Amino acid sequence: MKAIRIHAYGGPEQMQFEDAPVPECRAGDVLVRVVAASINPIDWKLRSGAMAKGIPKSFPFVLGQDGAGVVEAVGSDVQGFAIGDEVFFYAEFARGGSYAQFVAVDAAQVAKKPRTVTFATAAALPTPGQAAWTALIETARLERGMRVLIHGAAGALGTIAVQLAKQQGAHVVATASGEGMALVASLGADEVIDYRQQRFESVARGLDVVLDTIGGATQEASWSTLRPGGLLVATAIPPAPDRAAAAGVRAAFVFTPPRGAVLAQLAERVDRGLRVIVGREFALSDAAAAHRLGESGRAHGKMVLHVTAPAAN
């Protein structure tokens, strides 16, 4: 099969479009013929070696966690999936491998694809969708009437987070810039702050929850926007242990493990209208160009790789 592999940590030039063995479908796995894969910021953190301590890999390995496709084979001990099912998945980091024509994924990390969207759109959902779910629904336990500030609201995680927060009945304050402002408003945000033009901490006050997808100066300025006892949930940079206590609030860091059961709930919501925003689309062989764009911070939207044609079913 064709795949994007790396043989050493480094820049996008390490990404080789080459032949690789079809992965073994072990007990508990499904083998998926990948139609589309998506690109997450963690993909270039894994590629560069920045995650080498936390997620050790052996070379060569196929990049990518998220994707959508068609079940090609089912391992022993697998319930609920059959050959020909249309699925989407978030493969655990230790295995990964979605930038390829075939990937073997633990069936517990797979769900049936939403019926109403394309494979490319389904592929764009798993990691950011799960992170938004874990952060807002499971960790912050957002409820009707709570006030939440969502940073990076025009991003992959943020666009899902805004919609989930509105579905929970929360009042949503969002930060975005440029064309992202209108997008975030169209997803239901009650207030949108242009983070390039205005200091969000001068207008956002007394919040129950901050979802921090940025870290650094954005995280530091966020503490003062919370009410006493409020909660900052971070997805990019873990808050320093004593910082929340010093501000009289709470903090949590979310690192989302893959769970097919959560993907199934997200798929239902997509079929009921949750929007998944896809940005630039690339052929699998151009994955390095997509990484360059993503790392430059100029991608402005979720990038998707087209791997095989759905009609090859």
Ligand X SMILES: NC(=O)c1ccc[n+]([C@@H]2O[C@H](COP(=O)([O-])OP(=O)(O)OC[C@H]3O[C@@H](n4cnc5c(N)ncnc54)[C@H](OP(=O)(O)O)[C@@H]3O)[C@@H](O)[C@H]2O)c1
255 binds ligand X (CB under 6 A): yes
Least Å distance, CB 132 to ligand X, is 8
163 binds ligand X (CB under 6 A): no
Gap between the Cα atoms of 105 and 101, Å rounded? 13
Least Å distance, CB 114 to ligand X, is 19
Residue (159 or 308) nearer to ligand X, CB: 159
Least Å distance, CB 195 to ligand X, is 4
3-state secondary structure 212-270: ECCCHHHHHHHHHHEEEEEEEEECCCCCCCCHHHHHCCEEEECCCCCCHHHHHHHHHHH
Gap between the Cα atoms of 145 and 124, Å rounded? 30
Closest CA to 199 of 218, 214, 180: 218
Gap between the Cα atoms of 218 and 29, Å rounded? 40
63 binds ligand X (CB under 6 A): no
175 binds ligand X (CB under 6 A): yes
Asked if residue 209 lies in contact with residue 140, where contact means CB atoms within 8 angstroms, the answer is yes
254 binds ligand X (CB under 6 A): yes
Least Å distance, CB 174 to ligand X, is 9
Site track for ligand X across 37-56, x = CB under 6 A: ---xxx--------------
By CB under 6 A, name the one of 120, 214, 277, 278 that touches ligand X: 214
Gap between the Cα atoms of 276 and 125, Å rounded? 7
What phi and psi values does residue 48 have, to the nearest 5 degrees? Answer: -75, -20
Per-residue tokens: 41: 């910021």
Q: Which residue is nearest to ligand X (CB)?
A: 155
155 binds ligand X (CB under 6 A): yes
By CB under 6 A, name the one of 38, 65, 218, 222 that touches ligand X: 218
> What separation in angstroms does the CA of 119 have from each of 24, 86, 189?
23, 9, 27
Number of residues that bind ligand X (CB under 6 A): 29
Across the beta sheet with 207-212, the strand order is 191-194, 171-176, 147-150, 207-212, 226-234, 250-253
Site track for ligand X across 134-153, x = CB under 6 A: -----------------xx-
158 binds ligand X (CB under 6 A): yes
Least Å distance, CB 245 to ligand X, is 22
Asked if residue 149 lies in contact with residue 200, where contact means CB atoms within 8 angstroms, the answer is yes
Binding to ligand X (CB under 6 A) within 182-201 occurs at 195
Look up tokens 């390490």; give the residue: 14
By CB under 6 A, name the one of 23, 96, 114, 128 that touches ligand X: 128
| Binding residues vs ligand X (CB under 6 A) | 40-42, 127-128, 131, 151-152, 154-158, 175, 177-178, 180, 195, 213-214, 218, 235-236, 254-256, 297, 300, 302
